């Protein structure tokens, strides 16, 4: 039993039409795209730096402040466990904040740019 690959969209030998390289360059240099990139970077970079600093603080405390990290908060729960679980909470919080930011600010701008490029085809 032989199976044949499905032909590409648009027919067997028809190349897909789409924006040209010049159109991509002009969109990349447009004020809308620049604003989209600025909005992404102004959100992602500070949170990335903050999270890496928070993570490194946890690692450094674990290595050099064993007495502090071993301090019992309540029962058998110590500072190290609380801060370790806070790492997970921070990760999920950042992911949730990014999803909200992307839905509110990035996705509408990207959709507008995409629609404009597709309309020019």
Q: What is the pLDDT of residues 6-33, one digit of tens each?
A: 555 555 555 566 778 888 888 889 999 9
Q: Name the 3-class secondary structure at 27.
A: helix
Quick one: which H or E segment has residue 59?
helix 31-64
Residue 111: CB atoms within 10 A of its CB come to 10
How far is CA 61 from each of CA 51, 82, 85, rounded to the nearest angstrom? Answer: 15, 13, 15
User: What's the pTM?
Assistant: 0.74
Domain residue limits, the chain: 29-119
Do the beta carbons of residue 32 and residue 115 sit within 8 Å?
A: no
Q: List helix spans (H) across 65-106.
A: 66-69, 79-101
What pLDDT digit, counting tens, does each position of 77-119 carry?
999 999 999 999 999 999 999 999 999 999 999 999 999 888 8
Q: Name the 3-class secondary structure at 121.
A: coil
How far apart CA 104 and CA 116 sit, in angstroms, is: 19
């Amino acid at each position: 039993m032989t199976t044949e690959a499905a032909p590409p969209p648009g027919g067997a030998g028809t190349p897909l039409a789409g924006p040209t390289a010049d159109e991509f360059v002009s969109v990349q240099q447009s004020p809308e795209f620049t604003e989209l990139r600025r909005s992404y970077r102004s959100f992602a970079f500070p949170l990335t730096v903050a999270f890496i600093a928070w993570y490194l603080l946890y690692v450094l405390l674990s290595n050099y402040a064993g007495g502090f990290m071993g301090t019992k908060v309540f029962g058998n729960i110590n500072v190290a466990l609380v801060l370790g679980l806070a790492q997970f909470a921070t990760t999920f919080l950042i992911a949730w904040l990014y999803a909200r930011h992307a839905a509110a600010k990035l996705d509408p701008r990207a959709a507008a740019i995409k629609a404009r490029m597709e309309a020019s085809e």
